[in-house]
Amino acid sequence: MDRVTLRDVAQAAEVHVSTASRALNEATRAVVKPETVKRVLEEAEKLGYRPDPIARGLRTSQTLSIGIVIPDLENPLFGPIVAGIEAGLAADGYSVLITASTSHREDEAVRSLTDRHVDGLILASATLADPVVERLAKSGPPTVLVNRFTENVDIPAVIGDDQLGIRLAVDHLVEMGHTNIGHIAGPDQMSTGIDRRRAFEGLMRDYGYRLLVEGATGFQIEPGATAAARLLEREPSITAIVAANDLIGLGVYRAVRSAGRMVGSDIAVTGYNDVAMLDLVQPAMTAVHVAYRHMGAKAAEVLLAILRDEDSPTTTLLEPTLAVRSSTQTTSG
Amino acid sequence: MDRVTLRDVAQAAEVHVSTASRALNEATRAVVKPETVKRVLEEAEKLGYRPDPIARGLRTSQTLSIGIVIPDLENPLFGPIVAGIEAGLAADGYSVLITASTSHREDEAVRSLTDRHVDGLILASATLADPVVERLAKSGPPTVLVNRFTENVDIPAVIGDDQLGIRLAVDHLVEMGHTNIGHIAGPDQMSTGIDRRRAFEGLMRDYGYRLLVEGATGFQIEPGATAAARLLEREPSITAIVAANDLIGLGVYRAVRSAGRMVGSDIAVTGYNDVAMLDLVQPAMTAVHVAYRHMGAKAAEVLLAILRDEDSPTTTLLEPTLAVRSSTQTTSG
DNA sequence: GCGGCTGGTGCAAACGATTGTAGCCCCTTT
DNA sequence: AAAGGGGCTACAATCGTTTGCACCAGCCGC
């Protein structure tokens, strides 16, 4: 089953390959006689012709493929993001080249993609000050950041509204009567870390509450637990903790228990992201819910708009919601 | 920053492009004078030359890319699998083209990949009787199945040893004194459904226990819960349930509670796969643990072996382990 | 009746690499 | 001294498309 080439179609339709090419091509179809177009299309259909993206790419330097860089594919966050991107692009015929910046360094990941002439790039791996992103902004294919963004760079980003998200969590806790509210922040190198921290700080100022913050060295359970332990020791009067993400929140659970106190009744805890099964841990964790699949789809949409030369917003903020569960209810545990 | 082409290197080194090509190419390097090789390599280095995979692919019809088809990227199973594949291939310079067979049909997903001349294919989407896989076996690029396999087809597969996995679960339950053991099976269309069911049936025969099985219509919580409810009503004497996967197991949790009984003390439950956070649900679920990242890496390895023309096993069975947790301990809940 | 325009098609040169073959030079051998 | 051969390099075709340009016939207008 050898590949059917444009030449085959042209021969079958008894025209020159250039004519066949024009007939097949939406944009140039107008210049060839309708009758000829019909004949070519029929033969192409009959033979099952499918244009070779490689050959076309060589000539046009467009590959109908876009590259995406994910920092850590094992993180359950990124599955839905990739799914959203893939679905958003598939409709327009784009394929997805994926690289994880764990197996390469980020710049190698990007280079391996640009080497392959991707038409666009979606990065989920951006850090706050990211030389790779800066270079891409100057020269490189159209790029969209997703989930995280980079400061002082003119590249569109599709991210969650962290300020709103933190406000949802804090307001909920305040409503439940808490005034000594702590925050376990994520790493400062990522916008999701620093933005949530700043949002929290701003709200505490507004409410006139004391600022009780500890930074975790990573967005995982372990760092969350140690940071929370520090905070709980330093400020035993705390009654609620806003965690920078779900895993840190689970770390907080652990620290709270180590301190001989109870999650929910003694100390309310909120997570962020609302990953799967967070409603099944004990107690079910209240969390800011981010629609990651939608975020991916939106990023695809923005990138497609750029590729079509439409203008598009430089930043898209997605509104999170709050999933209230028992970790912030005083009732039982 | 225009692309540095082979011609640029050739000019700089004052040789013909064909000579430059041979000098750059490991395999053909021998035929060109060492001194010339040195000069070409130096210029290539200096100019930052990177061969264009597109152009090379057109000529050699090898693209150094492999395609992977995932049924559902949002399923937390597949993140680690993809991560493993990606890491395994990256070392050899291969890139990963990923498509989800949710946005296309499976055959479209495969076709979009073969159109792009992928050198190989890894399918996580195979069903027991899968026409797409059968077609691929006859004519198509080298293909490896991962996680699931297709019957009566000569394509290597890297899968977990479901028979061993189920045995680990059942033996553990028997050891704990259970004799009335039920099974909630997954869909029969997938090898992971039918194989676990058959393994379970075989063990019950061997032990001489009664066969208590209900099939769930899907690998999710809902179908698991309804199937488990049926089983519990039909056979109230049951004291343990082996679920075909974790989510079905969580469905079993729900059904057990709806029946007014307790998971762990009244009814022991085991899951399968051991997804993240399964140790944090209440009670922590005993589960057969499958190393999905390793499975992905192994699939990559097998595919690379085929691409290098080494012979490779037709089926690779990965040994699961059992993570024992409180859902099978009678002690507390 | 001739020049020019226009609609339709073919020609050929790209895109950037790989690779079979031809050719050159120089050395060896008879 | 001529022929042969080995080492090295250049030439040119090729992969499948796209696309600027030339070409040609027919038609219109003057």
Instruction: Note whether residue A56 is domain-resident.
Output: no
Look at residues B242, B313, B309, B253 and name the one whose alpha carbon lies nearest to residue B283: B253
Instruction: Note whether residue A1 is domain-resident.
Output: no
| Contacting residues of A for B278, CB less than 8 Å apart | 277
What is the C-alpha separation between B209 and B312, in angstroms, rounded?
A: 39
Distance B303 CA to D21 C1' (A): 48
Enter the tokens of residue B277. 């956070």
Does residue A41 lie within 7 Å of nucleic acid chain C, judged by its CB? Answer: no
Instruction: Note whether residue B58 is domain-resident.
Output: no
| Contacting residues of B for A72, CB less than 8 Å apart | 83
| Contacting residues of B for A78, CB less than 8 Å apart | 79
pLDDT band at B333 (very low <50, low <70, confident <90, very high): very low
Instruction: Note whether residue B117 is domain-resident.
Output: yes
Q: Is there a contact between B277 and A281 if contact means CB atoms under 8 Å apart?
A: yes
Same domain, A209 and A222: yes
Q: What is the mean pLDDT of residues A14-36?
A: 93
In SS3 terms, A191-223 reads as HHHHHHHHHHHHHHHHHCCCCEEEECCCCCHHH
CA distance readout (Å), A113 to A102, A107, A119, A138, B238: 15, 10, 10, 17, 55
pLDDT computed for residue B1 by the predictor: 53
Does residue B40 lie within 7 Å of nucleic acid chain C, judged by its CB? Answer: no
Same domain, B257 and B179: yes
pLDDT per position as a tens digit, A212-245:
999 999 999 999 999 999 999 999 999 999 999 9
Q: What is the mean pLDDT of residues A21-39?
A: 93
pLDDT computed for residue A332 by the predictor: 44
Same domain, B133 and B109: yes
Instruction: Note whether residue B192 is domain-resident.
Output: yes
Same domain, A113 and A38: no
Q: How far is B282 from chain A (nearest CA, A)?
A: 6
Which nucleotide is closest to the Cα of A5 by its C1'?
A: D16
Distance A307 CA to C13 C1' (A): 28
What is the C-alpha separation between B223 and A120, in angstroms, rounded?
A: 40
Same domain, A183 and A241: yes
Distance B14 CA to C26 C1' (A): 22
Same domain, A30 and A67: no
Which CATH number do you get for residue B13? 1.10.260
What is the C-alpha separation between A235 and A205, in angstroms, rounded?
A: 18
Same domain, A183 and A270: yes
Q: What is the mean pLDDT of chain B?
A: 94
pLDDT per position as a tens digit, B279-319:
999 999 999 999 999 999 999 999 999 999 888 889 999 99
Look at residues B238, B286, B266 and name the one whose alpha carbon lies nearest to residue B333: B266
The yes-or-no verdict on residue B332 having pLDDT over 50 is no
The yes-or-no verdict on residue B188 having pLDDT over 60 is yes
Distance between the two ends of chain A, CA-based, in angstroms?
65
Q: What is the mean pLDDT of residues A163-189?
A: 97
Q: What is the mean pLDDT of residues B148-161?
A: 96
Does residue B33 lie within 7 Å of nucleic acid chain C, judged by its CB? Answer: no
B57 inside 8 A of chain A by CB: yes
pLDDT computed for residue B258 by the predictor: 97
The percentage of residues in chain A with a pLDDT greater than 90, rounded to a whole number, is: 89
Residues 84-123 of B with CB under 8 A from A: 86-87, 90-91, 95-100, 102-104, 111-113, 115-117
Look at residues B55, B7, B15, B63 and name the one whose alpha carbon lies nearest to residue B37: B15
Best mutation target, A56, A104, A111, A116, to test chain B (most B CBs within 10 A)? A116
Same domain, B96 and B138: yes
Which CATH number do you get for residue A112? 3.40.50.2300
Same domain, B194 and B283: yes
Same domain, A203 and A86: no
Instruction: Note whether residue A232 is domain-resident.
Output: yes
CB of B47 closer than 8 Å to CB of B12: yes
pLDDT computed for residue B91 by the predictor: 86
pLDDT per position as a tens digit, A146-167:
999 999 999 999 999 999 999 9
The percentage of residues in chain B with a pLDDT greater than 70, rounded to a whole number, is: 98
Domain containing A11 equals 6-51
Same domain, B120 and B109: yes
Instruction: Note whether residue B333 is domain-resident.
Output: no
Q: What is the mean pLDDT of residues A273-281?
A: 94
Same domain, B121 and B149: yes
pLDDT per position as a tens digit, B94-146:
999 999 987 678 999 999 999 999 999 999 999 999 999 999 999 899 999 99
B55 inside 8 A of chain A by CB: yes
pLDDT computed for residue A331 by the predictor: 58
- Give the DSSP letter of residue A50: -
Instruction: Note whether residue A84 is domain-resident.
Output: yes
| Contacting residues of B for A281, CB less than 8 Å apart | 277, 280-282
The yes-or-no verdict on residue B175 having pLDDT over 70 is yes
pLDDT computed for residue A264 by the predictor: 94
pLDDT per position as a tens digit, B27-71:
899 999 999 999 999 999 999 999 999 999 999 989 999 999 999
Number of domains in chain A: 3
